[in-house]
């Protein structure tokens, strides 16, 4: 594949859209693909809901990386070429606290419940991970007890920023979005059956003017080499334990 990609300096840049959770890994992989494979690619990231809206409104891009459910819906609506859709990475939701504070125990479901009840304000994100967290809180029977202590970060804004600003003392979001934030200490994933995993998939947008090149990008994003980069960014390749 490498041999037919060496015209990256003259070929038009492949543009991609993604949700915020995959922004760090895609930035790193885009630079690698450009330098190692001669294929110019650039991703623009925003909140998943915002990205889906832009795609439905005809955003001009070639590749889409989004939560699997959201991407499947867009493919069903004809915005993504169905036979290009493939699972890429799995991201775990983790708990975090402000740096310098004592992390709560999270070994058991009871520990998680105690941490939630002890928190003054609990930050969570928009998108699938936030929806899953609200559902988990309901399953634990804590919706009424937590009440207005739940604070949703604005679309595209990491929930961890509310920790650093003092607006929350406990936050839940994708590991990749929390791990490099200043002033934030990642405690770890949620225990046992309370664990929340999000699958991110990729596909070629039906509006792409360079579908073959876009497929090349997807091939590289799904490669074992890309899986190593994703692993360093708090994700694992889909289909791997």
The pLDDT, as a whole number, for residue 180 is: 82
Q: What are phi and psi of 173, to 5 degrees?
A: -165, 175
Same domain, 95 and 172: yes
Same domain, 118 and 69: no
What are the residue ranges in the chain where pLDDT is below 70? 1-11, 240-241
Q: Which pTM was predicted?
A: 0.82
Same domain, 208 and 233: yes
Same domain, 77 and 113: no
The pLDDT, as a whole number, for residue 57 is: 95
- The CATH number given to whatever domain includes residue 233 is 3.40.190.10
Range of the domain at 64: 2-90+199-237
Same domain, 152 and 218: no
The pLDDT, as a whole number, for residue 2 is: 42
Instruction: Let me know the angle formed at the C-alpha of 169 by 168 and 170, rounded to the nearest 5 degrees.
Output: 100
Tokens of 57: 């409104």
Contact criterion met (CB below 8 Å) for 124 and 152: yes
Alpha-carbon distance of 187 to 12, in angstroms, equals 43
Report the 3 state secondary structure along 46-73.
Answer: ECHHHHHHHHHCCCCCCEEEEEHHHHHH
Domain count, the chain: 2
Same domain, 187 and 205: no
Same domain, 186 and 206: no
């Amino acid at each position: 594949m490498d041999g037919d990609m060496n015209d990256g300096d003259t070929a038009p840049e492949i543009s991609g859209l993604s949700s915020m959770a995959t922004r760090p890994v895609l930035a790193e992989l885009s630079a690698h693909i450009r330098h190692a494979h001669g294929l110019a690619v650039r991703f623009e990231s925003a909140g998943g809901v915002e990205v889906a809206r832009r795609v439905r409104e005809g955003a001009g891009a070639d590749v889409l990386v989004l939560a699997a459910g959201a991407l499947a819906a867009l493919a069903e609506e004809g915005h993504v070429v169905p036979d290009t859709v493939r699972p890429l990475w799995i991201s775990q939701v983790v708990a975090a606290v402000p740096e310098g504070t004592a992390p709560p125990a999270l070994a058991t479901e009871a520990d998680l419940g105690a941490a939630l009840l002890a928190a003054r304000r609990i930050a969570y994100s928009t998108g699938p991970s936030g929806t899953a967290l609200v559902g988990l809180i309901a399953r634990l029977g804590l919706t009424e007890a937590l009440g207005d202590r739940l604070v949703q970060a604005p679309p595209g804004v990491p929930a961890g920023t509310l920790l650093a600003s003092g607006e929350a003392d406990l936050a839940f979001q994708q590991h990749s979005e929390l791990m490099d934030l200043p002033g934030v200490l990642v405690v770890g994933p949620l225990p046992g059956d309370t664990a929340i995993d999000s699958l991110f998939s990729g596909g070629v947008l039906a509006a792409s003017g360079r579908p073959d090149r876009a497929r090349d990008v997807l091939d590289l994003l799904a490669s074992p080499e890309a899986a190593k980069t994703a692993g360093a960014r708090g994700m694992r390749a889909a289909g791997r334990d």
